Amino acid sequence: MNELFSAVEIIATKRDKSVLTDPQIDWIIDAYTRGAVADEQMSALLMAILLNGMNSHEISRWTDAMINSGERMSWSKLSIPTVDKHSTGGVGDKITLPLAPLVAACGAAVPQLSGRGLGHTGGTLDKLESIPGWRASLSNDEMLKVLQDCGAVICAAGAGLAPADKKLYALRDVTGTVQSIPLIASSIMSKKIAEGTSALILDVKTGSGAFISDPEQAKLLARTMVDLGVRAGVKTRALVTAMDVPLGLTAGNALEVRESIEVLAGGGPSDVVELTLLLAREMLELVGVKGKDPAVALKDGSAMDHWRRMIKAQGGDPDAKLPTATESEVVLAESDGLVTEMDALKVGLSAWLLGAGRSRQGEKVQAGAGIEMHAKPGEIVKKGAPLFTLHTDEPERFPRSLAALAGAVSISASNQKVERLPLIVARID
């Protein structure tokens, strides 16, 4: 086939800090998706983008080219508005699980295409797959039926949705080019725009346990994604939220499902409840649904009803016993005092080393592996009291996991001030 451009000239353009033209971007994304551009050539371009950046028009065109590599979904058959939430991920971030059925119980439809975990941040699909029988892969017709019957669906993106992104994501992961704001923003937004939702709330995490630890960089990513959404006709808003400390009291697949069910039952840790309610209200406001208040839907059981129906509709048994790991080990406090810090990254790495996450795509995760946290910053502990319980099916994993947890918690005299990021660091419309 006679190609319009050469990959080498496009790489050189970005290497020399010049701006890529629309035809260059359209061609390179299409040619890479169909295999006419080699991995090593695209790797060189991705590194040039990471080092030299892209302007807002280049990012927008790159996103459009990735969307145009596949299909666009439509929810026009639904009688109620659609709204989705995307989180950039963190430690103990199980918010999607209670949030989707909660928003559905309040009158909006939630088509939630989710991903799997890689590294220390857990994946929503891995968590839900710890429920016996539940399946992540649905056809577009099945997704529509679950949405019509339950108001919410959480499933994997099909192969037809932004296939260019799937290929690029895998390449970025093995070439050290993940941490590029243009590439992160276009990756997330190409899938979300192609998904066909009318509105989107972005939860951009910042702090030690987040993908982007620096709050200023997190704000820049949030602004870039909001602009991409608005340009594509999707009502988009971003909240930059704290991930300096893990969310809730668990990190790990089945452990986080159990905690999510506690939230849906009207209980659960206060930080998980607070963020779930906050995001639910933002989502409903964005699509103009003034139905039931989310706090009422958690208390009256309607959110739980939607959860049970959604899990059943995807083959899961909402009454089944969740898997538990065969081995556990407890970490005890070494002194009396106030817990002043808990490093989210260290907790996440420790859970990952126990088997809760994967180090390469396609690797199997342990459903029962992970960490329970018994005290969070701001709480008083006694010497010898449990701080963490570690769970795994493979006891040989304990030494490395315990080493990763070293120094994760600081305990000080009880009159010391606890320094924490605010839950909402910034709000970007």
Note whether 371 and 302 are within 8 A (CB).
no
Among 93, 126, 165, 203, the one annotated catalytic: 165
Active site residue 306: no
How far apart CA 342 and CA 401 sit, in angstroms, is 16
Among 14, 61, 86, 205, the one annotated catalytic: 86
Torsion of CA 271, 273, 279, 281, to 10 degrees: -130
- Residue of 122, 60, 90 lying closest to 240 (CA atoms): 90
Among 116, 127, 172, 376, the one annotated catalytic: 172
For 375-385, give one letter per residue: b (16+ CB within 10 A) or e. bbbeeebeeee
Which amino acid, residue 246? P
Among 114, 130, 187, 198, the one annotated catalytic: 187
Active site residue 57: no
How far apart CA 199 and CA 152 sit, in angstroms, is 14
Query: Residue 330: enclosing H or E segment and its boundaries?
Result: strand 327-332
Strand partners, 338: 380, 412
Q: How far is CA 42 from CA 38, 164, 184, 308, in A?
A: 6, 12, 16, 44
Active site residue 85: no
Active site residue 190: no
Residue with tokens 């006679």: 2
Active site residue 69: no
Among 191, 223, 346, 376, the one annotated catalytic: 191
CA angle 41, 168, 1 (to 5 degrees): 55
| Whole-number CA gyration radius for the chain | 22
Which amino acid, residue 57? H
Widest distance between CA atoms in the chain: 73
End-to-end CA distance of the chain: 45
For the annotated catalytic residues, the residue numbers are 86, 165, 172, 187, 191
